[in-house]
Every structure is written in structure tokens, then in C-alpha cells.
Amino acid sequence: MEKVGIVGYNQVKLYSDANYGRYEMIFEAVRGALDSAGLKKKDITTVVSATNDYYDGRTISNALTVEPGGGYLADESKVEMDGAHAVLYGLMRILSGNHKLAVVWGGSMASSFPYHTARLYETDPIWERPLAYVNDITSAGFQMRAYMEKFGVSAEDIAKIAVKNRKNAAKNQLALVEAQNPNLTVKDVLESEIYADPVTELMVAQPCDGVAALLLAPEKQALKITDNPVWVIGVGYNQETYYLGERDLSSSKSMELASKMAFNAAGVKNPLSEIDVAELFEAYAHEELILSEAIGFTEKGKGASLSSEIGGDMPINPSGGALGGNPPCATGLIRIIEAVKQLRGEANGYQVKGAEKAIASGQIGLCAQNNILYVLEGGN
């Protein structure tokens, strides 16, 4: 794959109910990204946004975002999926050879609409919606139960992931305040309110308000803009069948195939030894284990035995992951940004030492139906 450089990024601080208007937030993210690369509005040639009508609580969620998103007299289009999928679209624009700088931004205000209620409408209206009240949380209950039962994983092992990520989030200035807790214990997680047994409140990534932006440029252009670009050297994506009943919920076939595709492109043979840090989009604590097993860090069912804290064998989500704040449509984009920070040595307070290759993932759909994985490499 031809190299595409990430030359700038910015993310606003996440809030559960922000003292911001939506457009100011978008402006701050995009302007900040341009400033971080020392660029101007006229350098932008294409804009890709990631927003969702349902999560924003209105139709045409990219209306009124032309000016704050940098789309004024530039070509702009919207991806109604995760921000990580918008990066894929931006990547394609750059690789087409017609563009010199792509701005990819994504995000929403979950405080303006009941997010988990909106996700009720993701289920099948004929067979699933009238019979059982399945939304993202209850389907995650099915998934966690199936995973625990198949591999004999205890709820404590999964609570440990929530503890690790929320402790990591405490070191991340931009994470959601409600999610930051350096003194959290496994007992607290297990005893928090039950959302859909066995999923408890602290195992759920809290939807919140936030916007993030990323700048992509072709290789030649990237080297002109910055001395320290991060290269996208591989990308893979895959999706599973829509119906929950047709899937093996205890593992993630789509991530397995996505990572195979990404690692093939990047020439990675043994992910555990070649990758230095991973930023995975885990909407629930147990998904981190399922995804890391699918990527091939451990055998299936052994994910809990991997030491995934900062300084461990494979640091996963040193920034706190999605459990540190889940602004719909921005979370996957933030995972890429956090991986870029690690590779540029800019992760203040949660830096993984000597990180050269990183992976970042995004997902969308019930029980991580659609997964996308990026392999990133530090510049110089």
C-alpha cells in the first residue's frame, strides 16, 4: 500500500453534558488540527465528516457544519458510521491522487438524545424489536454471557479490564471526568448498577459529547508539512451478519478477517511481538478481550491472561479506550489519534516507551458487528 501520512490531529475534551454548542466544538477540533500542523483553511482540499442523525437527534446531521468543519468551497461528504470508517474514506480520497490534504472529523452530542434508546432502532423491526427489548446494552449482555460461558472466563477478569481502562483514563486529560477513577476496584465494578446482567454500569462505555479531527496527506506532501508524520501502512475492515442469532457472539470473526487484511498490507507476521501499542474501540469491557483475541494477541479465551497495562506485554488502551468516554462517531477516530500520540511521543502521562508500530480500531453495530483496523508506523 502507498503510504499516507497523518500530519495533524486534535480532540476536544469529552463532557457528559458539554457547555458547548455543537458547532463550536467542531470548529475547535478542526481549527486545532490545522494549527497543530501549521496549516490554513486554503490548504484543505477535501473534507470527510462522520456524524449520525440518530445519535444527534435530528436529520441531516452534517447540515450547518460546512463552516466549522472547514468545508466552505471544498468538497465535503459524510460517513454515517464510526469516525474510523471516515478515515478510510479520507484515505481513499488521498490515494486517488487528486487531493493534497484531507480533513476527517467526527463526533456528536450524545447529551442531546437518548443514545441507548436510539440504538433500539438498530434491531430488526420484524423479528427482534417486538419480541425482546434488545438494544446495544442487552445484546452486549448476550455477548458477554456467551463469551464467559464458552471460555470459562469469570466476571472478575472482565471487571479488571474496566478497572485498567478507567485507571488509564485518569491519566488522560481529555477523557470524560465521570470515567476517570484512579482508585477503582474490581469490587466497585461488579457491584455497580446492573444494566443487563452480567454487564454492569462501569463496564459500559458512557456515551458523551465530543468531536475529533485528523489530517491526512499523501507521502510527499506529508513530509513537507511536518518532520514527524505517522504513516498508515495497513488497513482492514470486515463485517458480520446483521442478525444476532446467526453469529458466534463469543468471538469476533469480522475483526479476525479485518486484522488479517491489515497485517497483510503492513507486512506484520506476529502481531504480539511487532506491535508496540494497541488502541481498541471496546464499547464494553468484555469486547476488549474478544477483539484482542481476534487480532491474534492470544489464543481464543486467553485474552484475560495478557498483561495489557502500560508497560505490560501489549499495552491496550493506555489512553483509557472507549471506556474513558464514548462520543458516538468520534470514538474510533480518537483511538487513531491516541495511537498517533503514542507514536509521536506526545501521550503525556500515559506514554508507552519506544512505541514504533501501533494499531487502532473502530467498530459499529450491535456487538461490534463491523470492525476496522489500522496499522500505523512512526515516521522518523
Binding site for another protein (CB under 8 A): 17-21, 57-59, 113, 121, 125-128, 130-134, 138-139, 141-146, 149, 194, 196-199, 241-246, 249
Per DSSP, what are the bridge partners of residue 200?
A: 194
Which residue, 21 or 267, is less far from another protein as judged by CB?
21
Please give the C-alpha separations between residue 233 and each of 13, 86, 189, 255, in angstroms, as whole numbers: 28, 17, 37, 18
Which residue, 32 or 57, is less far from another protein as judged by CB?
57
Which residue, 152 or 354, is less far from another protein as judged by CB?
152
Taking the complex as a whole, the smallest distance from the CB of residue 365 to another protein amounts, in Å, to 14
Taking the complex as a whole, the smallest distance from the CB of residue 338 to another protein amounts, in Å, to 27
Which grid coordinates belong to 110? 450524545
Q: Check if the beta carbon of residue 330 is closer than 8 Å to that of residue 106.
A: yes
Taking the complex as a whole, the smallest distance from the CB of residue 289 to another protein amounts, in Å, to 16
Question: How far out from the chain centre does Cα 252 lie?
Answer: 16
Q: Do strands 75-79 and 46-50 pair parallel, antiparallel, or not at all (unpaired)?
A: parallel
Taking the complex as a whole, the smallest distance from the CB of residue 146 to another protein amounts, in Å, to 4
Taking the complex as a whole, the smallest distance from the CB of residue 328 to another protein amounts, in Å, to 16
Element holding 105 (H helix, E strand): strand 102-109
Which grid coordinates belong to 172? 488522560
Which residue, 227 or 246, is less far from another protein as judged by CB?
246
Spatial separation of the C-alpha atoms in residues 360 and 345, rounded to whole Å = 16
DSSP string, 260-284: HHHHHHHT-S-HHHH--EEE---SB
Which residue, 163 or 249, is less far from another protein as judged by CB?
249
What does the DSSP 8-state code read for residue 323? G
Which residue, 38 or 245, is less far from another protein as judged by CB?
245
Taking the complex as a whole, the smallest distance from the CB of residue 285 to another protein amounts, in Å, to 15
